Amino acid sequence: MADDAQHLTQVKRIVLVLSGKGGVGKSTVSCQMALSLALAGHRVGILDVDICGPSVPKILGVEGAEVQQTAQGWVPVPVPLEGDRKGHLSTISIGFMVGPDDAIVWRGPRKNAMIKQFFTDVLWGVLDYLIIDTPPGTSDEHVATVANLMPFNPSGAVMVTTPQDVSVDDVKKELDFCNKAGLRVLGIVENMSGFVCPHCEECTYIFSKGGGEKLAQSQNITFLGRVPIDPQLAECEDEGKSFTSAYVGSQSAVALQSVIQGVVGSIVTAETAQ
């Protein structure tokens, strides 16, 4: 265990991105947070534990890269960064190990074994932040991830929801999972909260708004903010670019940057309280 554990001992802060619902933007929040922190000068890693639907390689623009294997373990794939204040960003995902159209048809034990290998065999090195992008739900991947992480005192989890009740209700289950697992919740993000017109920048709340904020208030959890839908965000992710850098000043970029700052603030507050 000591040899396995040393791969994470140089990671200062570990943040999970969770939601009970699929398709709410966990990977978007994970990747944009990782890119923003790295471009601010931090050393960042992002681990994709979504075994059946890995999207991190595509969003970060490193789809098709190969994971280098050494005698000591796997070397995460480096992500090229643009900007003057470069930090470091690297990632690992099952997406690097299978074809782009290959389905992963695995039962729980094999998923759990792969996730354990991500934690024991990856040579992350010194990191300021390790962001973990998770699949929806509270099942095998989540139990295996938290079980492997708890010895390293993770900073906590960021919850992502959309405004609708159908999403909020599933996030309540994820909050219960965190409570049972002893995992701190850093805050709730209300994603897809409105649509920003690319021509006039008016925001229309096509999916209603306020569901995530109400949930945060009812559970006495930090509300990290709302992020509206923006076609330019989708374009950036298709091209592997940082949205907050490419569209500085846009409503969605400002909102996303505020969410990221809120996450960092929640981590600092939790560390201070310890």
pLDDT tens digits for range 204-263: 898 888 999 999 999 999 999 999 999 899 999 999 889 998 998 889 999 999 999 999
* Residues found in the chain: 274
Say if CB 194 and CB 203 are below 8 A apart: yes
Mean pLDDT of the chain: 92
pLDDT band at 1 (very low <50, low <70, confident <90, very high): very low
d(CA 214, CA 225): 11
pLDDT at 120 over 60: yes
Q: Considering the chain, what percentage of its residues have pLDDT values greater than 70?
A: 97
Neighbours of 166 (CB within 10 A): 10
pLDDT band at 121 (very low <50, low <70, confident <90, very high): very high
Neighbours of 270 (CB within 10 A): 14
**pLDDT on residue 110:** 93
pLDDT band at 201 (very low <50, low <70, confident <90, very high): confident
Residue written as tokens 């850098």?
A: 245
- Give the closest residue to 32 by CA, choosing from 230, 271, 268, 269: 230
Lowest mean pLDDT among 24-28, 54-58, 173-177, 197-201: 197-201
Say if CB 92 and CB 56 are below 8 A apart: no
Say if CB 132 and CB 49 are below 8 A apart: yes
**pLDDT on residue 86:** 76
User: b/e map of 45-69 (b: 16 or more CB within 10 Å)?
Assistant: bbbbbbbeebbbbbbbbbbebeeee
**pLDDT on residue 207:** 82
pLDDT band at 6 (very low <50, low <70, confident <90, very high): low
Say if CB 63 and CB 166 are below 8 A apart: no
d(CA 31, CA 36): 8
